């Protein structure tokens, strides 16, 4: 509270403001006046991944999928649904360990000002490498067919 009695919240929570007017030659000290304040956490802006679906071939570098939104200083926690096909680091970097399909999700924790975020997620499809077959007709020119 400043000298003019203006209260500025610095984080979510509850506070009791008390005031008393000092006495002087003409008046006695006043009763204590109190006021309860509840400052609620703010809602975080929507947390979202840049793409809802990331596809790539196993063995290639996993493409980045930027996470945007959220607010405050709460930690972001990443999670995958199928640990048998990929792993995820604390900072959201995915490493593929096998072909398959999974969901990747992230949530931002509450801090002193903002509540927890929504859960952002995307689908991750890791395909097996496909072999490219090329037919070379010239190799058949020297072949004899037998019956």
**Each residue's pLDDT tens digit, 43-96:** 999 999 999 999 999 988 888 999 999 999 999 999 999 888 889 999 999 989
Prediction pTM value: 0.68
Q: Report the candidate in 62, 52, 50, 49 with the shortest Cα–Cα distance to residue 127.
A: 62
Q: For residues 110 and 42, what is the distance between their CA atoms, to the nearest angstrom?
A: 10
Considering the domain delimited by 48-127, tell me its CATH architecture: Sandwich (2.60)
Query: Could you tell me the two tokens for 136?
Result: 């070379």
> In terms of pLDDT, which residue wins out, 97 or 144?
97
Q: Are 27 and 20 in contact (CB under 8 A)?
A: no
Q: What percent of the chain has pLDDT over 90?
A: 44
3-state DSSP assignment of residue 139:
helix
- Above 90 in pLDDT, residue 130? no
Q: Give CATH 2.60.40.1080 domain extents, the chain.
A: 48-127
Query: What backbone torsions phi and psi does residue 140 show, to the nearest 5 degrees?
Result: -85, -15
Q: Which residue has the tokens 């309860």?
A: 36
The residue-averaged pLDDT of 13-40 equals 85
- Above 70 in pLDDT, residue 99? yes
3-state DSSP assignment of residue 52:
coil
pLDDT band for 20, please (50, 70, 90 cuts). Answer: confident
């Amino acid at each position: 509270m400043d000298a003019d009695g203006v209260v500025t919240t610095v984080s979510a929570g509850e506070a009791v403001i008390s005031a008393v007017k000092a006495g002087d030659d003409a008046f006695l000290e006043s009763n204590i006046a109190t006021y309860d304040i509840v400052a609620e956490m703010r809602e975080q802006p929507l947390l979202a991944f840049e793409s809802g679906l990331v596809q790539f071939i196993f063995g290639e570098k996993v493409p980045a999928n930027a996470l945007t939104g959220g607010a405050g200083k709460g930690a972001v926690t990443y999670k995958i649904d199928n640990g048998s096909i990929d792993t995820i680091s604390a900072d959201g970097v995915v490493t593929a360990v096998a072909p398959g399909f999974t969901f990747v999700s992230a949530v931002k924790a509450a801090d002193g000002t903002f509540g927890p975020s929504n859960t952002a997620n995307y689908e991750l499809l890791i395909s097996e490498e496909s072999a490219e077959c090329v037919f070379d007709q010239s190799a058949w020119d020297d072949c004899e067919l037998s019956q």
